[in-house]
């Protein structure tokens, strides 16, 4: 898959079949849409192209109801690649772009840069200034600019919306199994390892304190998780198992929410390195203990339980 960030540097596409969307999560609902895109491209011996906007339009337009994101841009790119898309075009979204009138959006953006043979879009897709462009306008202009419009069924779109809402709710409720099933892959957190207070080391459980790279990323429910850990070093990855705590650390009167990862059978300094954690299971809520001895005893129990649980994910 080729990834393009500059509209003025796009190649000449062959029988371009395009779809447009945020595709946050690239979950099972989105994957059904991608199958339609790939099928249409195959029918015309063309290239499949996904157009996605970055930053998220709702963030740029200061929508107070904009949800946190399931996937960062890098994570979306990886998922599109796995599903066999030929091209991903990351379109810079800013107030100027949002001010383009609907007909100009089709003529000066879609047609000018992609010369589409087919546009795969939903019946309720809105575009252009004040979201005045719709499926009917896109179809009408297709006669003028010689492209077909392939409508994504309402049931498929509804499933996509339901999936996004369900995934977010599942993550906020600690229901990792449901979230991962709807995503079809483990939910991930990626960040840089930063210095903590080294309390975990004094308990025999050193932790990597994770500062999440994407500030818009959704952070799941506080509690303890069984995780797979991927440590990036010089372009390569090393893979481990571990346990992670998200929360305020009430036993030591913590004031800020932290993400702390204890990597099993590992004792190295990894400050400033990039770490990706896959959430495999939620094991318990965050709790306040009577003291550090009680906390350490619980950590021993957590580790034993999680090591046994992780055997299911070999």
- Given pLDDT bands bounded at 50, 70 and 90, which one contains residue 64? low
Which superfamily, per CATH, for 11-166? Answer: HUPs (3.40.50.620)
pLDDT tens-digit profile of 139-197? Answer: 999 999 999 999 888 787 777 777 888 999 999 999 999 999 999 999 999 999 998 87
> Domain map of the chain by residue range?
11-166, 188-313
pLDDT tens-digit profile of 284-298? Answer: 999 988 889 899 999
Burial of 241 (0-12, 13-18, 19+ CB in 10 A): buried
Residues 111-118 have a mean pLDDT of 97
Burial of 129 (0-12, 13-18, 19+ CB in 10 A): middle
Report the topology of domain 188-313: Elongation Factor Tu (Ef-tu); domain 3 (2.40.30)
pLDDT tens-digit profile of 30-60? Answer: 998 999 999 999 999 999 999 999 888 877 7
Answer yes or no: pTM beyond 0.85. yes
Nearest to 115 by CA among 4, 6, 11, 9: 11
């Amino acid at each position: 898959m080729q990834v393009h960030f500059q509209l003025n540097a796009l190649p000449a596409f062959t029988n371009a079949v395009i779809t447009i969307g945020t595709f946050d999560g690239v979950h099972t609902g989105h994957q059904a849409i991608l199958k339609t895109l790939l099928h249409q491209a195959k029918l015309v011996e063309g290239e499949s192209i996904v157009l996605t906007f970055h930053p998220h339009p709702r963030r740029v337009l200061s929508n107070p109801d904009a949800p946190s994101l399931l996937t960062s841009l890098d994570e979306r790119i990886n998922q599109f690649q796995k599903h066999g898309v030929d091209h991903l075009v990351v379109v810079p979204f800013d107030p100027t772009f949002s001010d383009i009138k609907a007909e100009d959006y089709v003529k000066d953006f879609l047609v000018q840069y992609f010369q589409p043979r087919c546009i795969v879009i939903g019946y309720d897709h809105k575009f252009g200034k004040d979201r005045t462009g719709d499926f009917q306008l896109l179809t009408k202009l297709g006669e003028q600019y010689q492209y077909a419009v392939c409508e994504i069924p309402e049931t498929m779109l509804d499933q996509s919306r339901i999936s996004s809402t369900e995934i977010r709710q599942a993550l906020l409720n600690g229901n990792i199994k449901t979230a991962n099933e709807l995503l079809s892959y483990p939910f991930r957190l990626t960040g840089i390892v930063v210095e903590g207070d080294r309390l975990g080391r004094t308990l025999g459980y050193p932790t990597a304190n994770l500062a999440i790279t994407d500030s818009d990323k959704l952070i799941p429910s506080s509690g303890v998780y069984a995780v797979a850990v991927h440590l990036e070093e010089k372009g390569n990855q090393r893979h481990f198992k571990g346990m992670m705590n998200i929360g305020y650390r009430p036993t030591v009167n913590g004031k800020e929410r932290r993400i702390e990862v204890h990597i099993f059978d590992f004792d190295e300094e990894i400050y400033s390195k990039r770490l990706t954690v896959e959430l495999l299971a939620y094991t318990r809520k965050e709790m306040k203990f009577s003291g550090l001895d009680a906390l350490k005893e619980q950590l021993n129990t957590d580790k034993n339980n999680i090591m046994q649980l992780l055997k299911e994910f070999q």
